[in-house]
């Protein structure tokens, strides 16, 4: 594919990409050493097999299409929305989430388990299919999220849970398009395709489907206003965030597979 490029041209392309990645500092998953555990886990209480399961769970969380490929239909990872491997406050952190389940799920209309929540994410945000309950991937993700909950109390939410609270504003997709071009396109691309697995796609065939939780402009705005752009977080106003969300949601994305409507 590089046959028509000169060496100089390729160098400029490489430098441009490097500059973009350095400028936006997007999620960059780094596989931990074999003996590492979550920063919320006390290693002394773990057996070797438990450590390995947690490690695999973190790898799946950080690079989902690579480590859970059989169940993923796009190029998004869990950590693209639950940033810093699910540990960043007000970025849907997973800290102490295991101790909040079973939990009533409004979308499902019933009480669900933590594992059912994972299945929902794979069918919607990953545009794939639910993880089998007895799969290696399900067990590993459960172990990882449990490791982020060891210091919490049953039924007690982490103080940085979810996203920041915003009043609902009317987003303007025209203004949002301009804001996206100036503040977001450097990382996610003018075409919204990103540079997976480092920088996630935000629309198009490799993004989340229209049944995902992030397919809600208010929810996206709450995520954006606190966490984006990653090189200058909290620089957007609430109105800016709603405008960008309105623009992003005017763009095409996959349709949710109704075969999984119970998730």
| Ordered domains of the chain (ranges, CATH) | 43-147 (1.10.760.10), 173-258 (1.10.760.10)
Confidence label for 41 from pLDDT (cuts 50, 70 and 90): very low
pLDDT, tens digit, 9 for 90 and up, residues 144-199: 999 999 999 999 999 999 999 999 999 999 999 999 999 999 999 999 999 999 99
Which residue shows structure tokens 């997709």?
A: 173
Top mean pLDDT of 15-19, 20-24, 203-207 is at: 203-207
pTM of the predicted structure, to 2 decimals: 0.83
The pLDDT of 251-261, averaged and rounded, is: 97
CA 18 to each of CA 25, 36, 67, 120, 247: distance values in angstroms, whole numbers, following the listed order: 10, 29, 25, 35, 27
Mean pLDDT (the chain) is 87
What local confidence, expressed as pLDDT, does residue 46 receive? 66
The pLDDT of 232-253, averaged and rounded, is: 98
**Weakest mean pLDDT among 5-9, 47-51, 137-141:** 5-9
What local confidence, expressed as pLDDT, does residue 191 receive? 98
Q: Is the pLDDT of residue 135 over 90?
A: yes
Q: Is the pLDDT of residue 1 over 60?
A: no
Q: Is the pLDDT of residue 2 over 90?
A: no
Q: Is the pLDDT of residue 254 over 80?
A: yes
According to DSSP, the β-strands at 103-105 and 110-112 are: antiparallel
Q: Is the pLDDT of residue 120 over 80?
A: yes
CA 94 to each of CA 105, 143, 154, 187: distance values in angstroms, whole numbers, following the listed order: 16, 12, 14, 25
What local confidence, expressed as pLDDT, does residue 49 receive? 86
DSSP string, 231-251: TSTT-S-HHHHHHHHHHHTTS
SS3 (DSSP) at 167: coil
The pLDDT of 47-75, averaged and rounded, is: 95
Q: Is the pLDDT of residue 24 over 90?
A: no
DSSP 254: P
């Amino acid at each position: 594919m590089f046959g028509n490029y000169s060496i100089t041209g390729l160098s400029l392309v490489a430098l441009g990409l490097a500059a973009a990645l350095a400028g936006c500092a997007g999620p960059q998953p780094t596989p931990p050493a074999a003996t590492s555990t979550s920063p919320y886990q006390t290693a002394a209480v773990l057996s070797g097999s438990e450590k390995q399961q947690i490690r695999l769970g973190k790898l799946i969380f950080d690079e989902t299409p690579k480590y859970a490929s059989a169940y993923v239909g796009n190029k998004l990872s869990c950590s693209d929305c639950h940033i810093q491997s699910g540990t960043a406050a007000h970025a849907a952190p997973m800290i102490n989430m295991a101790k909040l389940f079973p939990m009533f799920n409004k979308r499902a209309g019933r009480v669900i388990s933590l594992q059912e929540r994972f299945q929902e994410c794979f069918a919607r945000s990953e545009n794939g299919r639910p993880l089998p309950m007895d799969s290696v991937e399900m067990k590993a993700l459960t172990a990882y999220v449990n490791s982020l909950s060891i210091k919490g109390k049953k039924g007690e939410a982490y103080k940085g849970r979810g996203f920041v609270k915003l009043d609902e504003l009317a987003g303007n997709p025209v203004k949002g398009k301009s804001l996206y071009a100036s503040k977001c396109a450097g990382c996610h691309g003018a075409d919204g395709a990103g540079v997976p697995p480092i920088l996630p796609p935000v629309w198009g065939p490799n993004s989340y489907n229209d049944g995902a939780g992030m397919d809600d402009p208010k929810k996206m705005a709450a995520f954006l206003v606190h966490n984006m752009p990653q090189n200058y977080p909290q620089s957007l106003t609430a109105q800016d965030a709603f405008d960008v969300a309105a623009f992003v949601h005017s763009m095409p994305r996959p349709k949710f597979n109704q075969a999984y409507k119970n998730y």
